[in-house]
Structure 1
Amino acid sequence: MNETTSVQPKPKTWNNRQIIEPLTLLSIFALLFGYIAGEMGVTNMFNTLFNTAHQLLLNTVLLLMGITVLAGALSKLLTEFHVITLIERLLMPLMRPVFNLPGRAAMAAMMTFFSDNPAIISLAKDRRFSANFKPHELLSLTNFGTAFGMGLIVITFMATLESGSDQNYFRAALIGLAGALTGAVISTRLMQKFTRDQIDHNPVDYLAVSASEHPSSDYGHKGAGLRSLNALLDGGKNGVEMGIAIIPGVLIISTIVMILTFGPPESGYSGGAFEGVALLPHLASYLEWPFRILFGFEHPELIAFPITSLGAVGAAMSLVPNFIAQGLVSESDIAVFTAMGMCWSGFLSTHTAMLDTLGYRKLTSKAILAHSIGGLCAGITARYLYLLTVYFF
């Protein structure tokens, strides 16, 4: 009878990545939370984290969700009755001279303005839409669409903020929109310049179709009243989904940013919401003069908004009510916030996935560089447009 030999499993080998990554992460956690706990105390740190997240959920997320539901209902209604199609066709003549894009790119701007950045992916992969785009033009849609992402929500939120006085932020929001458009032009054209010599120049090999082919209606030939009701309810449902999608960014990113932005109360740390160690303002104070010249920021705490907008504009918007409550924000700042928030709209968290889906992950760094420059230009433009508006009007 033959003896069976047992096969000994090979000892598990560790590669450098499996060693370096956990050690790096633990080191960052230890430095960050060790510093915060050293300033606030361990108990106060955890209580502040939980209380801040709780207040953001109740006072900010629900407000943003209300806006997304109403904005979603409006956008669906406008789409159903072809208002978006009309606006798109009116904008078509501007696309080539302004953005160096085919006229149908106006549809991409409309879709992302009323929804969010990833809407551009479904369009770019639609053969009817992307016919006759040159590849570098098609790829620049990631920057073009992102510059309009969540535009309606950002503008509505900023325009309806309560300042505690008779000040109206509607003008500032419109100036911010103009700044965001400037950033969109710069980002889109830079992306085209960066990628033109790296990919094929021939038009995308899709069957050419008319500039836009929209279905006559999502609800068949039902009456106008029923179509309106269905559009409002379905659009509101989409708004709920968008509102839920922004919860992680608001609670996670904003809580960390706030604890690094705001300082202790006069009575000392108590573990309450919105207490912090004021690390970001301390670091920003070393660059106070460029922020003041470029964006007009009078308080270093305000730099938290554009930093947060890089990852999630919903999280960045949640910072603004607290800035207003502390008297840190002016009308000029709201214009800059609107421009940079809309133009950047969390592009660091979406650009990689968008370009990966289109099959050009290798160009992610160029897209990020172009959009970073575009967002900075958007904020600068909004600041100086505001000064011109105040001077002349």
Structure 2
Amino acid sequence: MHKMTTGSTRKTIPYLDTIIFLAIISLFFGYLGANMGISNMFSTIMSTAYELLIDTVFYIMAIAVLTGAFGKLATEFGLVKLLNKIFSPLMKPLFNMPGVAFLGVITTYLSDNPAIISLSKDDDFLSYFKKHQIPCLCNLGTAFGMGLIVTTFMTGLGFFKEALIGNIGAIIGSVVSVRIMAYRTKKVLPEEPEKKMKNKRDIDIEDNIIEHAQGSFFERFLTAFLEGGKLGVDIGLSIIPGVLVICTVIMVLTFGPADPSIGYQGKAFEGVRLLPRIGEFLSPILKPLFGFKSPEAIAFPITALGAVGAALSLVPKFLESGIIGSNEIAVFTAMGMCWSGFLSTHVAMLDALGYRKLISKAITSHVIGGLVAGISAHFIILFLNFI
């Protein structure tokens, strides 16, 4: 009898998923259609996606190509290795991680979250870590993912100081995230080194991981420049689904009619202002913690949870509408870097590291880290304005 019940339950799961899916889709489009009208709703969705593709995605792709080329050149000609030598001594006091973990910071900052996985597959690299520290690489790498792209994007809009403050906030958030994760993993994993190696101290980990191409200076420069640029194109293409799908949905839920006196016209960037209502409800919390002057600003951190590229797409429209200022740019930079779409990458990254059972611990630790990053950036701005 028990077996029959179990089998029956398993058979109903697909139908339950289908019902939930249909309910969510019906609720979403029903709510939009009831407020905007069916024709205006579809016109707005298509127009918004098109405007995002032309005006924002290609701009971000251009930034990704340039930063990708620079990142590859920095690796090819030893800048990454030099930075690792300089900043490795900070890893122990800040993160309680081996100095070589700074390689993970650099590689993800110059590219994206999953770059840390390539390092984690190197036995020489892992030999410097204790067992409980290895899952923390996921949080460490994610906290700096797409950092150069986010920083360059904000700087390109004329907010250099705010982008720099946002980087400081992201560092603070990353320390919190990694420290919390390490505290939690220490309870379930041993502290012994992952793999003991002979003459480990004599191994130059940077030379083992960073290999330079053969050839003249010009050949190496040109090869690295083109390969890095190609990586930037790949990043630019990879963010298109996130920007067009996630950001379109967020914008439709954020903005109102282009002209409230006329009503909905089916134009791009019109919406039903649902998120601002939620933001107004949460404003007693958001205002003192992040300093958001408009409830619509909540859309950025929500979007950054899934895709930081999509979150960046919101910024130009927010600036144009006067919704955000310098404080929000600093907070957005900090949270965008620290979270950098981790909900869409954390599971796969931890699975690749071999610690799928720690996914919930990693996600909750990183949520806290991202919040601390945004709060830190806000209070740094307040302090600088005060002095």
Aligned to 2:4: none
Counterparts of 1:224 and 1:42, CA distance in 2: 60
Q: Percent identity?
A: 51
Q: Max radius of gyration: which structure?
A: 1
Letter in 1 for 2:328: D
State the distance in 1 between where 2:28 and 2:177 align. Answer: 33
Match of 1:145 among 113, 136, 141: 141
Instruction: For 1:121 and 1:216, locate their aligned partners in 2 and report how far apart those are by CA, in whole Å.
Output: 15
Write the mapping of 1:1-393 to structure 2, written as runs, cut at 5 A: 15-161=11-157, 168-205=158-195, 207=197, 208=200, 209-214=203-208, 217-220=211-214, 222-266=215-259, 267-392=262-387
Per-residue Cα deviation, 1:254-295 (whole angstroms, up to 9, x for no partner): 000000000112231111100000001011211111100000
The residue type equivalent to 1:176 in the other structure is: G
Whole-angstrom CA distance in 2 between matches of 1:13 and 1:184:
42
2:207 partner amino acid: E
Offset of residue 25 of structure 1: 0.4
C-alpha contact (below 8 Å) 1:175/1:335 kept by paired residues: yes
Q: How many residues align?
A: 374
Amino acid at match of 1:198: V
1:318 aligned counterpart, secondary structure: helix
Over aligned residue pairs, what C-alpha RMSD do you find?
1.4
Equivalent residues of 1:284, 1:300 under 8 A apart: yes
Bigger CA drift: 262-271 or 33-42? 262-271
For each residue in 1:321-377, what CA deviation from the matched residue of structure 2 results, as whole angstroms up to 9, or x when unmatched? 000110111101100000000000000111111111112111100000100000000
Kept in 1: contact 2:32–2:272 (CA 8 A): yes
Q: Is the 8 A contact 2:140 2:178 kept in 1?
A: yes
Q: Which amino acid aligns with 2:100?
A: R
Which letter maps to 1:196? K
Cα distance in 2 for partners of 1:13, 1:121 equals: 38
CA contact (8 A) 2:279 2:295 kept: yes
- Matched to 2:309, the amino acid is G
1:310 is paired with a residue whose SS is helix
CA contact (8 A) 1:103 1:211 kept: no
Tell me, yes or no, if the aligned pair for 1:143 and 1:184 is still in contact at 8 Å. yes
1:200, 1:150 → 2: CA distance? 32
CA contact (8 A) 2:331 2:377 kept: yes
- Of the structure 1 ranges 207-216 and 308-317, higher mean CA displacement relative to structure 2 is found in 207-216
Structure 1 gaps, min length 5: 1-11, 162-167
Displacement of 1:13: 10
TM-score (norm 1): 0.93
Measure the CA separation in 1 of the matches of 2:294 and 2:15. 41
Alignment deviations for residues 165-210 of structure 1 (CA, whole Å, 9 cap, x no partner)? xxx4110000000000000000000000011010122110253443
TM-score by length of 2: 0.94
Which deviations, in whole Å up to 9, do the C-alpha atoms of 1:3-40 show, x marking residues without a partner?
xxxxxxxxx99712111000000001101110000000
Which consecutive unaligned segments of at least 5 residues does structure 2 have? 1-7
